[in-house]
Amino acid sequence: MPKHLLFDFGQVLIPIDTELSYAAFEKLGAKEDLADQNETFAKMERGDLSKDEFLGALQPFFFRKNIFKNDLAEAWNALCYAPIPAEHFDLLKKLKRKGHKLFLLSNTNALHIAKIKELCGPFNYKQFLKLFDGIYYSHEMGTRKPEVEFYQKVLETESISAEDCFFVDDREENIQAAEALGMETWLLDPEEDSVMDIKGKL
């Protein structure tokens, strides 16, 4: 059984719905080519852009010339709509009691993390983070999944072997990158699976 359990955040430990952000952007009058700005989104996730720089970069992709940055931020954060389920807290505690080390690996950004903290409440969010032996947010690391550098930084920082890791993520490209390094993996389908079933996957 793997010693170390590595978890993605969105769609694995907390529910998200990207359609909510798409709808919010459409309501603000987004142009069609906003959907093609993947590199801008990736830069935000790598921490290459500040909050203001990111929101400013989105502005030209709306028909309205002047949209308040707060409105853009709310639309960007709309996908974060619910707190971390209490049952996931309980699951993580049980896994720790069984001797596993737990790590959180997430492609995220400062705006989403601020929204999640608000949804959970500062105390509950802090208690959640305390359950992990290591927390790796892409915007703090300067790299993101599925870039090999992301995984290597985790392994090197924690002095752990890929062969001792079990990684859970909902995106196939992230899983494939982890497998290429020698990790055991679970590609979780949010429509059919629940992280609560992890015991049967180990």
Phi-psi map region of 29: left, alpha, beta (phi>0 left; psi -120 to 50 alpha): left
Q: Are 118 and 51 part of one and the same domain?
A: no
The β-bridge partners of 197 are: none
**What is the pLDDT, as a whole number, of residue 2?**
77
Question: Strands, DSSP E only, in 81-191?
Answer: 101-106, 134-137, 165-169, 184-187
**What is the pLDDT, as a whole number, of residue 177?**
98
**What is the pLDDT, as a whole number, of residue 65?**
82
**What is the pLDDT, as a whole number, of residue 75?**
97
- Name which of 53, 36, 32, 34 is nearest 44 in CA terms: 53
Q: Are 88 and 124 part of one and the same domain?
A: yes
**What is the pLDDT, as a whole number, of residue 92?**
98
Q: Are 72 and 52 part of one and the same domain?
A: yes
Q: Show Cβ contacts of residue 134 under 8 Å, excluding neighbours closer than 6 positions.
A: 101, 103, 104, 154, 157, 158
First to last CA, the chain: 6
Q: Are 9 and 104 part of one and the same domain?
A: yes
**What mean pLDDT comes out for the span 40-69?**
94
Q: Are 103 and 60 part of one and the same domain?
A: no
pLDDT in tens, 173-197: 999 999 999 999 999 999 999 999 9
**Exposure b/e, 69-83, CB count within 10 A at least 16 = b:** eeebbebbbbbbeeb
The chain-wide mean pLDDT, for the chain, equals 96
pLDDT in tens, 86-98: 999 999 999 999 9
Q: Are 11 and 22 part of one and the same domain?
A: no
Q: Are 180 and 132 part of one and the same domain?
A: yes
- The number of distinct structural domains making up the chain is 2
**What mean pLDDT comes out for the span 36-63?**
96
Last residue of a domain, one of 32, 57, 77: 77
CATH number (domain holding residue 115): 3.40.50.1000
**What is the pLDDT, as a whole number, of residue 74?**
98
**What is the pLDDT, as a whole number, of residue 184?**
97
**Exposure b/e, 23-49, CB count within 10 A at least 16 = b:** ebbeebebeeebeeeeebbebbbbbeb
Q: Are 178 and 125 part of one and the same domain?
A: yes
Q: How far apart are CA 80 and CA 199, in angstroms?
A: 27
pLDDT exceeds cutoff 90 at 66: no
pLDDT exceeds cutoff 90 at 61: yes
Range of the domain at 25: 18-77
Rg of the chain (C-alpha set): 17
CA 164 to each of CA 19, 57, 150, 178: distance values in angstroms, whole numbers, following the listed order: 36, 41, 17, 12
Q: Are 95 and 135 part of one and the same domain?
A: yes
Q: Does residue 92 contact residue 123 with C-beta atoms inside 8 Å?
A: no
CATH number (domain holding residue 66): 1.10.150
Q: What is residue 146's three-state secondary structure?
A: coil
Q: Are 73 and 110 part of one and the same domain?
A: no
At 54, is the pLDDT very low, low, confident or very high (cuts 50, 70, 90)?
Answer: very high
Is 0.85 surpassed by the pTM of this model?
A: yes
Q: Are 106 and 149 part of one and the same domain?
A: yes
